[in-house]
Structure formats: structure tokens, C-alpha cells
């Protein structure tokens, strides 16, 4: 039963917010994708078709952009790669080769020995091979995605229409980048031999310890392109072993789910986004400003220094999964994608620690449900009691603190009902009710 419920939650999370995974975790190049996603998922689930298309095109853009930067940098780097050879010119560019000069001197030329820029170093040949093979794989990804028609009826136009528009935009951007890369590839030397896939990787890896940054960047892009035609999976955890796929982590998606719900609440209440990146978004409504943060420290931490060092103090500040700051009102959110009472208890105390550090008016612990009968100690039993109150109280339990702050335990379950869109609305309604404690919302 629990296993089936987890699969349902994972599936619904990918449908609702899977497309935001790369953006919200600041994954902006191939190397970061490899570090963050590559692993073994065990019995992971396949990401839904539309989200997979969106993520594949996003990663394909990263691959091509990395290769464009790598090839451009390599072409600008020719001056560093020189070979010693004879040149014939009206003036000498180095020591004169007398024997060769005798035969050309009547024409007014000198034969001299000098160093000239060259692209004959093995890095350039291997760079071309990686770029050409990556381009073939990227074209397959693009063709596969172009043929997919978004299934707007699956969870409602509200979720799919914006995604379909964004997907079309990213496909067009990829097409432009591919054209640019093709032109750059033609300026690189062709290999004299043909490499198998394993041979190419072997030759590239031999040079990696001594290679310039552009060569390493191209290698990461090529490595990512190899995985783009494989399934993208979602799982609770990822193992670093030889059998590898691109894997989304359920708990990370859950954090994005809660964060996106918060943003949608403010937007539906008349706020508009004016600046920021996916992890730090500023919204305004009239003269009121609201800052919504994702996995980021707020500016009003009570931590000032560590043994006189302010730099260390900044690094040890708490980073709530989500936070809201508006006119001296602060909200911190801790997300727990688990039914384990011990884990949820830890989240309760962690949220209160954030509230203390940032002098927050409101704290929220979001979790899908709780498995009764698994309590480890008295604190876990108390958390089970809170869950019982939540079941009777519409999925919310309020804890009032003596300093005036309030901590809410809120059920945010992507699989509470069958339809993903219905779960979105239920969770949004609960969070709106809680946010009204400190904010003026409809």
C-alpha cells in the first residue's frame, strides 16, 4: 500500500512541477547536470512524457551551448598551440635555413624556422569528434520532442498550456544554437582515423588531467548528450554506481512543489513578478513587496560571527526550503517528503530553529501524511498526536508559541486525490489559509 502511494506521489510530482527541476536547483551547464542527476535509481519510475520532453530539450540546450562555448574558446586559443616549422616569406621570422633559402632566394624569399599557431594538437581533433557525435544525438532528441503533442486533457489546460508554449520556445532556441555549432565545427580539423564510442571516451580521458577548460567543458557536454536518449527517472534516492540514468529525486521535487504553490498563491492574489531568479523572486502589488526564496538564507539572521569571522557566519546560516519576507513579516517553510514520524518530528524542530534564527512570525512544516505506529520516542508520539488533530482539522494543526509566533503543520500531499490538478488546488487552499495568519490574502 505504502509503495503504491509513493509511486503515485512521485508520478504526480513530475506532472505538476517536474519541468522546474533544473531551473530551481541552479543547474546551468552540463557538468552540473551530471553531478546532480546522474546515478542509479533502482526501481525508479519513468518521468511523464511531457515533462521528459521539456527536461530533455532544456538539457539539450545546455549541451549545445556548452559546445558552442568550448569550440569558440578553442578557436581563440590557437595562439597557445604552436608547432616549429619552416616558413617562406619576404622577411625572416626566425633563424634562416640557409639550404632552403638558396633555392627560393631568387624570388626574394627567405626560408626561416619559426613557431606558428596550429590546431593539430589532439585536443582539437577529439573536440570535433565529441561535438559531431553530440550534435547527432541532440538532433534525435529534438526530432523526438517535436513529434510530441502535449496531452492537454491529462491534468487540465491550466498546467499544460504554459508548458507547451515554453517547450516550443526552447525547441526554437535549440535549433538556432545547433546552426551556430555546425558552423563552428567546420573550423576544426577532421580526424585521420575513426573512433568507436569507447575509444573516443578513452582517448579523451587520457588528456583530461592536462587539458584546457574548454576541452573539459566539451567532455561534460558529450557525456550528458549520451544519456539524453535514455529514460529520465524519478526516485527517492540515487546511487553512484556504474549503471546510471538521469534521476530526479522525489524530495527535491516536493520542495519545488511547495515553493511553486506559494508563488502561485501570491500571483493569484494580484502580485506580479518584477525581478529575480528561480531561487529568489521579488513580487509587488501596489506599494507592497514580497520576496519569496527557495533554499536560500534570508538577510535578517541573528548569526553575526563565528570566532570573529563573519564569512563563516554567513555560510552556517539556515536555508529554509522556502521562505517569504514582506514588511518585517517573515515566513519559513520546512518540507518533509516522508511519512516517518521521526523525520517529521525533526522537521518540526528544524522549523522552530529557523523561526528563532530569522525572528519569523510564521513557520510551516509541510508533509504528505504520517504513518501511525512507527514512533521512536515521546516526541514522535507527540507528532502522531498532531497528525490525529490534522486529520480532524482539515489537514492543518496550529501550534502557538509564547513569543507570539505560530507554527503550522500542514498536509501537502500530491497524491491525496487521484487527479494531480485536484491535489494542487487542495494543497494551495490549505497553504492560503495558513498564510492569511500574517498576510492579507483573499
Measured CA to CA, the distance from residue 112 to residue 87 in angstroms comes to: 6
Set of cell numbers at residue 384: 502522531
pLDDT confidence bin for 390, thresholds 50/70/90: very high
Lowest mean pLDDT among 108-122, 170-184, 335-349: 108-122
Mean pLDDT of 335-347: 93
3-state secondary structure the chain: CHHHHHHHHHHHHHHHHHHHHHHHCCCCCHHHHHHHHEEECCCCEECCHHHHHHHHHHHHHHHHHHHHHHHHHHHHCHHHCEEEEEEEECCCCCCECHHHHHHHHHHCCEEEEEEEECCCCHHHHHHHHHHHHHHHHHHHHHHHHHCCCCCCCCCCHHHHHHHHHHHHHHHHHHHHHHHHHHHHHCCCCCCCCCCCHHHHHHHHHHHHHHCCHHHHHHHHHHHHHHHCCCCEEEECCCECCCCCEEEEEHHHHHHHHHHHHHHHHHHHCCCEEEEEECCEEEEEECCEEEEEEECCCCCCCCCCCECCEHHHHHHCCCCCCEEEEECCEEEEEEECCCCCHHHHHHHHHHHHHHHHHHCCCEEEEEECCCCCCCCCCHHHHHHHHHHHHHHHCCCEEEEECCCCCEEEEEECCCCCCCCHHHHHHHHHHHHHHHHCCCCCCC
Query: Which CATH class for the 252-435 domain?
Result: alpha beta
| pLDDT of 438 strictly over 70 | yes
Residue 153 has pLDDT above 50, yes or no: no
Overall average pLDDT of the 78-98 stretch: 65
- What average pLDDT is seen over the chain? 86
Give 240-251 pLDDT, tens digit per residue: 655 678 999 999
Residue in this structure with the C-alpha cell 494551495, named with its chain if needed: 428
Least confident of 12-21, 294-303, 326-335, 367-376: 367-376
**Integer-rounded Cα radius of gyration of the chain:** 28
Question: Which pLDDT score, from 0 to 100, does residue 155 have?
Answer: 43
Over residues 59-76, mean pLDDT:
94
Cell numbers linked to 265? 498563491
Amino acid 116: pLDDT: 55
Residues 124-152, mean pLDDT to the nearest whole number: 84
- The torsion angles phi and psi of 405, rounded to 5 degrees, stand at -75, 165
Helix 49-76 × helix 2-17 angle, to 10° = 50
Res 72: pLDDT:
94
Which band of pLDDT confidence, cut at 50, 70 and 90, is reported for residue 156? very low
| Cα–Cα dist 363/322, whole Å | 10
Task: State residue 440's pLDDT score.
Answer: 76
Q: Is the pLDDT of residue 302 over 80?
A: yes
pLDDT, residue 335, reads 96
Q: What is the mean pLDDT of residues 81-101?
A: 67
Per residue in 196-230, pLDDT tens?
888 899 989 988 888 889 999 999 999 999 999 98
Residue 109: predicted pLDDT: 82
Rounded CA separation 219/224 (Å): 9
**Which of residues 41 and 54 earns the better pLDDT score?**
54
Residue 150 pLDDT > 70, yes or no? Answer: no
pLDDT of residue 97: 73
C-beta atoms surrounding 91 within 10 Å: 7
Percent of the chain with pLDDT over 90: 51
- The more confident residue out of 236 and 426 is 426
Phi, psi of 220 (to 5 degrees): -60, -40
Task: Give the CA distances from residue 289 to residues 160, 267, 293, 355, in Å, rounded to whole numbers and listed in that order.
Answer: 29, 12, 13, 21
* Confidence bin at 85 (pLDDT 50/70/90): low
In this predicted structure, the answer to whether residue 287 has a pLDDT above a threshold of 70 is yes
Domain ranges of the chain: 2-76+123-250, 82-117, 252-435
What is the value of pTM for the model shown? Answer: 0.85
Q: Is the dihedral of CA 15, 21, 23, 27 positive or negative?
A: negative
d(CA 207, CA 216): 9
> What's the mean pLDDT in 42-57?
87
Phi first, then psi: what are they for 440, rounded to 5°? -90, 95
Antiparallel, parallel or unpaired: β 329-335 and 362-367: parallel
Which neighbouring-strand residues pair with 334? 365
At residue 101, the pLDDT reads 74
Say what the pLDDT of residue 239 is. Answer: 75
Amino acid at each position: 500500500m505504502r509503495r503504491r502511494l509513493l509511486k503515485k506521489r512521485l508520478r504526480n510530482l513530475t506532472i505538476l512541477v517536474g519541468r522546474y527541476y533544473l531551473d530551481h536547483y541552479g543547474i546551468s551547464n552540463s557538468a552540473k547536470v551530471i553531478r546532480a542527476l546522474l546515478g542509479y535509481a533502482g526501481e525508479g519510475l519513468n518521468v511523464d512524457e511531457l515533462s521528459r520532453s521539456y527536461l530533455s530539450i532544456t538539457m539539450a540546450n545546455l549541451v549545445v551551448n556548452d559546445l558552442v562555448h568550448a569550440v569558440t574558446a578553442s578557436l581563440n586559443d590557437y595562439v597557445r598551440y604552436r608547432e616549429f616549422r619552416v616558413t617562406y616569406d619576404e622577411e625572416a621570422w626566425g633563424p634562416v635555413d640557409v639550404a632552403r633559402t638558396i633555392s627560393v632566394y631568387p624570388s626574394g624569399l627567405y626560408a626561416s624556422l619559426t613557431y606558428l599557431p596550429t590546431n593539430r594538437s589532439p585536443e582539437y581533433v577529439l573536440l570535433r569528434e565529441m561535438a559531431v557525435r553530440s550534435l547527432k544525438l541532440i538532433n534525435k532528441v529534438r526530432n523526438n520532442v517535436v513529434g510530441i503533442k502535449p496531452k492537454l486533457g491529462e491534468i487540465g489546460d491550466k498546467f499544460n498550456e504554459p508548458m507547451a508554449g515554453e517547450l516550443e520556445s526552447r525547441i526554437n532556441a535549440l535549433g538556432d544554437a545547433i546552426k551556430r555549432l555546425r558552423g563552428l565545427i567546420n573550423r576544426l580539423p577532421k580526424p585521420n582515423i575513426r573512433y568507436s564510442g569507447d575509444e573516443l571516451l578513452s582517448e579523451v580521458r587520457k588528456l583530461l588531467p592536462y587539458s584546457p577548460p574548454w576541452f573539459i567543458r566539451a567532455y561534460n557536454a558529450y557525456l550528458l548528450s549520451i544519456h539524453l536518449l535514455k529514460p529520465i527517472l524519478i526516485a527517492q534516492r540515487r546511487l553512484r554506481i556504474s549503471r546510471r540514468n538521469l534521476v530526479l529525486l522525489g524530495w527535491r521535487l516536493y520542495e519545488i512543489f511547495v515553493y511553486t504553490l506559494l508563488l502561485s498563491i501570491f500571483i493569484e492574489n494580484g502580485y506580479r513578478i518584477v525581478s529575480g531568479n528561480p531561487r529568489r523572486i521579488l513580487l509587488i502589488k501596489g506599494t507592497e513587496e514580497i520576496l519569496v526564496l527557495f533554499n536560500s538564507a534570508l538577510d535578517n539572521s541573528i548569526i553575526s560571527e563565528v570566532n570573529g569571522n563573519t564569512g563563516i557566519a554567513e555560510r552556517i546560516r539556515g536555508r529554509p526550503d522556502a521562505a517569504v519576507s514582506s514588511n518585517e513579516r517573515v515566513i519559513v517553510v520546512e518540507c518533509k517528503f516522508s511519512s516517518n514520524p521521526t523525520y517529521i518530528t525533526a522537521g518540526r524542530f528544524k522549523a522552530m530553529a529557523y523561526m528563532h534564527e530569522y525572528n519569523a512570525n510564521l513557520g510551516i512544516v509541510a508533509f504528505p501524511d504520517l504513518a501511525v505506529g512507527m514512533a521512536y520516542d515521546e516526541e514522535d508520539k507527540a507528532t502522531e498526536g498532531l497528525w490525529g488533530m490534522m486529520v480532524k482539522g482539515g489537514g492543518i494543526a496550529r501550534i502557538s508559541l509564547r513569543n507570539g509566533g505560530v507554527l503550522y503543520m500542514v498536509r501537502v500531499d500530491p497524491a491525496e486525490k487521484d487527479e494531480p490538478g485536484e491535489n494542487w488546488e487542495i494543497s494551495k487552499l490549505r497553504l492560503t489559509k495558513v498564510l492569511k495568519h500574517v498576510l492579507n490574502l483573499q
